[in-house]
Structure 1
Amino acid sequence: MSVPLPFRYRTVEAGVPIRCAVGGEGPPVLLLHGYPQTHVIWHAVAPLLAERFTVVAADLRGYGDSGKPAPTNGDTEYAKRTMAADQVDVMAELGFDRFAVAGHDRGGRVAHRMALDRPDAVRALAVLDIVPTRHAFACADRDFATGYWHWFFLTAGHGIPERMIGADPEFWIRARMTSRHAGGTPFDPAAMAEYVRCFDEASIAASCADYRAAATIDLEHDEADAGRLLEVPVRALWGERSFVGRNYDVLDVWRGYAADVTGRALPSDHYLPEEAPAEVAAELTRFFG
């Protein structure tokens, strides 16, 4: 693979400096990554999409080479509303006032909030291997607590997860990712090395704040929007071997949050853009086209 992507790179001043790669021509598409990755998770998908679209693959605030402000009480710096606003500002700075967005994992949660807050900017939304945060917490059970235990670990206060992860961040990243991979394309060693490079002390602190925000201020925002359906078309994709695929009726869940929902399972576990890149690219090309 090519690290960084074979695109033009820019750092755009939004709420914080946001690092992004831009390539291709055509209608604009924004790609957002999950935890603990960077925009590089799209390394096999983005070049395929760039044959039809102008692709912007961005690092979320707190991740990759984007700005990583130190969390404060309340973790408002990492509310999904704030993270979504960053990316809308990036797209506007690049000349795109309206665009399609695809988000995997944490990026999907940012993209969901973006579509709620800025339906004028988002023309279509693809969410990869998630159900809405509000639903996940409301329906949490023993399987969720054991399968998604990191959600609770990362929200712990008093510097506990930061200190423990910081003792061996490479082990943490490799363990998290390999435990949620089942067949399909193997992780590219260069991509894994990039995730490790970017997971510094500031990113560890920021990503913990991201998860704490999901359990606090994000839920407040989600409760305020309870019952409000997304108006943009939504394409939900998930791994047939993933926790999401095994534990939820994904389309039924999303139809409680959006008026126009389609989707299907792909042959992977959690990391769809890396495990099933050809299938993801084909799905997004059809949906965004």
Structure 2
Amino acid sequence: MPITERFTLNDGVRLRWLDNSPAAPEGLPILFSPGFSDFADDYIEMLEFMSPRRVVVVEVRGRGGSDAGEDLDYSAPQHAADLRAVVEDAGFDRFHVMTFSRGTTWGLEMAFGLRDRVASISIGDYWAKEHGVSEDLARGMLATRFRGKPVPERIPEHVLLSVFRESIEREFSSHLAAMPCPVLLAHGTEEGRLVDDAGIAEYRAARPDIEVVTIHGAAHDLFRLDRHAYPRAVLTFIANDCPGL
């Protein structure tokens, strides 16, 4: 099955995304909004696994092969606009949303703006909010690694600092509660996970009908031990809660 590299323009910003391009797609497509410093290529195995459902993985501005100009707007609303540009270019009418980590922030913001077109939302270990981050904490991230690579090799320093400089603390719980589609939350069990028991309780308070799936043995990176665990949970959730979609 060929993985297709595609490009979309959003107000002059060139965005790279990968499409699993199944020959005979089944069900509605999935837009996946990956983590803060992720490459779309990190998810090629996932794209293959989720076929024959069509799935696209987006590199928002400043990530991977997308434009990363120093003068660009790296706010969360602009990231959400990047995702929407891909949705429209891909020809999606109704579709499912799947997110991981901080990609949840712009994935949810995009979904809220297209509420009647979103068939389901799956959230991978993140809160229903935009988390404001100080510049000191952002600079500290430059000394860390993710999936074996130093963070500066995954995301340019000026992009990382701009994203967090423009971040503000915003709760999305009320917006999530108003979404007319089923919602899945996937979380890990090990130290380092972001959504703990208190976080799960907050989700349940906003969405009593939320489906919660535990990825046993995972910390924050739900893909580390078993690359298929979270995607499998999403496909099962869609099959059970969105029959025919």
* TM-score tier after normalising by the smaller chain length: 0.7 to 0.9
SS in 1 for 2:5: strand
Normalising by the residue count of structure 1, what TM-score does the alignment of the two structures yield?
0.69
**Which of the pair has the greater relative contact order for Cα pairs under 8 Å at 6+ separation?**
1
1:48 equivalent in alignment to 2:49: yes
- Paired with 2:210 and 2:191, the residues of 1 have a C-alpha distance of 20
CA distance in 2 between counterparts of 1:288 and 1:85 reads 25
Root-mean-square deviation (CA, aligned residues, Å) is: 2.9
What letter matches 2:16 in structure 1? R
The 1-side partners of 2:173 and 2:187 are apart by 23
1:60 counterpart residue number: 60
In the alignment, does 2:33 pair up with 1:32? yes
From 2, 8, 20, the counterpart of 2:17: 20
Q: Structure 2 length as normaliser, TM-score?
A: 0.80
Work out whether 1:241 is the aligned partner of 2:190.
yes
Report how many residues are paired.
231
8 Å contact from structure 1 (residues 42, 273) kept in 2: no
Contact 1:233 1:261 in 2 (8 A): yes
From the superposition, tell whether residues 11 and 270 of structure 1 become closer, same or farther in structure 2 (CA, over 3 Å). same
Which one has the bigger strand percentage?
A: 2
CA shift in 2, pair 1:245/1:35, >3 Å:
closer
Q: 2:80 aligns with which of 75, 80, 84?
A: 84
* Structure-2 change in CA distance of 1:95 and 1:259 (3 Å): farther
1:97 CA displacement: 2.3
1:126 Cα offset (Å): 0.9
- Alpha carbons of structure 1 residues 6 and 133: separation in structure 2 relative to 1, 3 Å: same
Q: Secondary structure at the match of 1:78?
A: coil
Consecutive unaligned residues of structure 1, counting only runs of 5 or more, are: 138-150, 166-171, 178-186
Which is richer in helix? 1
Q: Is the partner of 1:101 in helix, strand or coil? A: strand
Q: What is the rounded CA distance, in whole Å, between the counterparts of 2:113 and 2:98 in structure 1?
A: 16
What are the ranges of 5 or more consecutive residues in structure 2 without an aligned counterpart? 240-245
Q: Measured at CA, do residues 253 and 243 of structure 1 come closer, stay the same or move farther in structure 2, by a change above 3 Å? A: farther
Aligned-partner Cα distance in 1 for 2:194–2:154: 29
Partner of 1:176: 145
Provide Cα deviations, 1:172-202, integer angstroms capped at 9, x if missing partner: 3xx432xxxxxxxxx5x7xx59x87553xxx
